[in-house]
Amino acid sequence: MENFIKMVIDSDPLVTELNRLAEFSDVPSPAVTRIMLSDSDLAARKYLCGLFQSAGLEVRTDPAGNLFARWVGTEPDLPAVGTGSHCDAIPHSGKYDGTVGVLGGLAAVRAMQKAGLRPRRSIDLVMFTSEEPTRYGVGCLGSRLLSGQLDPSDADQLVDSEEKTFATLRKETNLRGSLGDVPLPGDAYVAFVELHTEQGPLLEQKNIDIGVVTHIAAPSALRVSYQGVGGHAGTVLMEGRRDALLPAAKLVVAVDRAARDLGSKDTVATTGLLEVYPGAVNSIPRRTQLEIDIRDIALDRRDLVLAHIAREAQSLGEEHQQKTVVEQINADPPATCADLVVQAIEEACETAGVSHQRMISRAYHDSLFMAQVCPTGMIFIPCREGVSHHPDEFASPDALGNGALVLAHTLCQLAEAKPTRPKGKGSNV
């Protein structure tokens, strides 16, 4: 029945709402800074709640700040279908990352409603708390808690740059209740699907409308510290030096080489942070600290590279007579998208008449953790030149409309939506 339903996405309201949401920011347009549970984030949440309620959705917020807007189905006791993404934004980023999945999800629900459909299963539109690691240094904080991948007591004790714990912040922002009540029951969702910009250039380069995600790469991270001996850059002779930057510099090269030599094209490793103390041109570095990101869609291969880099870090420290500390910050498992959802997305693309290809997500998303609790998939739309986490990020109205339409058809299938009005009465059948 769903294949005979004509749904239309008007991208103009979607663009307008994305632009309005971007105004809730701590910095001037076109940049967006919206840190989790900051004043701008709280104002954005209020705006979204108004939109959700205007669409007839039931709104609630859990103790972690995850926001749920439910379109109640005809059989509300059945496991629901979930969709959504996040709306927090790292400093000086853009207006499309995450927000496309929230407001695009709302556009999909509206299209189904306008077509006279009613889902058998309820549909939850979810805005996850703190997908970005900006405030507490933990990415996907809300979905980690929802999926039971983060201990509630550990989460409450997280501390931000102002020495404020998450427990204190929750109290200040009226997020009542225990984080122990946040994890989803195993039968909460029959499926979850997230709409997102690709954050890469492949779809635009190939002129393809939709990416159907099959795997989500997972991050792992190391923090490496070297403690050498500082001194005056002019008075300490070379033969007596224990410069802490030397092993760090060699490790940067070793990280790149490990990903190239031990992994595959899907293995990536990046030294994204290198701090040098005291950081003066005329002072020998006495301490350095690096943070290293290693990702892959294959857990065994990712962990092989991770372990190799950790050994290399220790070996370089010994070679240069440095006190060396190697810490594993995190190592999340990658996710494989469920055939059920992948096939539903591909069928939706055919129904919507848009081009599509299978691909992997090299960035991680809340879907990585939702995959721990239910069958999960992702829909990618192209973004201009693959730019993301930058004020210049952009997705065209056509791309936004295509993504929301494919999401609408996907939700129809997963929720088994049926017409509620007879043919000829404005149902678009």
In a domain, 186, yes or no: yes
Residue 100, both tokens: 């496309």
User: The domain that contains 412 carries what CATH number?
Assistant: 3.40.630.10
Is 299 within 8 Å of 318 (Cβ atoms)? no
Q: Are residues 338 and 325 in the same domain?
A: no
**Mean pLDDT value of segment 135-148:** 95
Which of 297, 331, 365 delimits the end of a domain? Answer: 331
Amino acid occupying residue 23: E
**Residue 4 pLDDT > 70:** no
User: The domain that contains 234 carries what CATH number?
Assistant: 3.30.70.360
**With pLDDT > 90 as the criterion, what percentage of the chain qualifies?**
92
In a domain, 427, yes or no: no
**How buried is residue 24: exposed, middle or buried, by Cβ count under 10 Å (0-12/13-18/19+)?**
buried
pLDDT tens-place string over residues 190-235: 999 999 999 999 999 999 999 999 999 988 999 999 999 999 999 9
pLDDT tens-place string over residues 13-48: 999 999 999 999 999 999 999 999 999 999 999 999
**Residue 296 pLDDT > 90:** yes
Answer left, alpha or beta for residue 326, where phi above 0 means left and psi between -120 and 50 means alpha.
beta
**Residue 109 pLDDT > 70:** yes
Q: Are residues 165 and 177 in the same domain?
A: yes
Residue 199, both tokens: 């954050």
Q: Are residues 231 and 187 in the same domain?
A: no
Q: Are residues 347 and 382 in the same domain?
A: yes
Answer left, alpha or beta for residue 98, where phi above 0 means left and psi between -120 and 50 means alpha.
left
pLDDT of residue 419: 83
pLDDT of residue 421: 53
Is 108 within 8 Å of 404 (Cβ atoms)? yes
Range of the domain at 151: 2-217+334-419
Is 65 within 8 Å of 159 (Cβ atoms)? no
Q: Are residues 90 and 208 in the same domain?
A: yes
Q: Are residues 247 and 212 in the same domain?
A: no
**Can you give the pTM of this predicted structure?**
0.90
Q: Are residues 128 and 270 in the same domain?
A: no
